[in-house]
Amino acid sequence: MSLEIKLTVNGNSHTADLEPTTALVDFLRDTLGYKGGKRCCNTGECGACTIIMDGKPVNSCVVLGADAAGTDVVTVEGIAEGDELHPVQQAFIDTGAVQCGYCTPGFIVSLKALLDRTKNPTAEAVEEAISGNICRCTGYTKIFDAVELAAKRMA
């Protein structure tokens, strides 16, 4: 039995059928084609699948697609303004905060959500904002540099 859901993703309205047990990450990737968020841990621990749902960062691997009905979702694909990268995206490039890149979309989404609500975050606020994101490559220093640079550019 499939369910019909309606939601907004990156400003675009979508109506689609999905199985009741389909995770939001799979619905976004496989049905709607938003491939930025990755399925990794499947338990909400790593942050590779982070999206913004109704203004809050969420691990989409632990949310059922049906539970996203009626919500406003932003994926990493929806953060840029046309061809112009969001300041967080550009700062990741400029500071070299990207290594293998697998976790990068989740970090960018989490940090965008932070900067949406806090224009000049403290190091503690940044640490809290990315506490649900894991990177095995960078050691996090350059990620902190990137959010500091993005905050300055957005001020």
pLDDT digits (tens, 9 = 90+) for 64-97: 999 999 999 999 999 999 999 999 999 999 999 9
Q: What is the DSSP letter of 81?
A: B
Nearest Cα to 1, choosing from 13, 14, 15, 19? 19
Per-residue pLDDT band for 135 (boundaries 50, 70, 90) equals very high
138 — pLDDT class (breaks 50, 70, 90): confident
Reply yes or no on whether the pLDDT at 62 is more than 80. Answer: yes
**Residue 122 Cα distances to 42, 60, 132, 147, angstroms:** 30, 26, 17, 10
Q: To the nearest whole percent, how much of the chain has pLDDT over 70?
A: 100
Which pair of structure tokens corresponds to residue 50? 């982070």
- 35 contacts 8 by C-beta, under 8 angstroms: no
Query: Average pLDDT in the 14-31 region?
Result: 96
Q: Both ends of the chain: CA-CA distance in Å?
A: 49
C-alpha–C-alpha distance, residues 48 and 59, integer Å? 8
How far, in Å, CA of 132 to CA of 81, rounded? 26
The DSSP 8-state label assigned to residue 86 in this structure reads P
**Angstrom distance (rounded) from CA 81 to CA 43:** 31
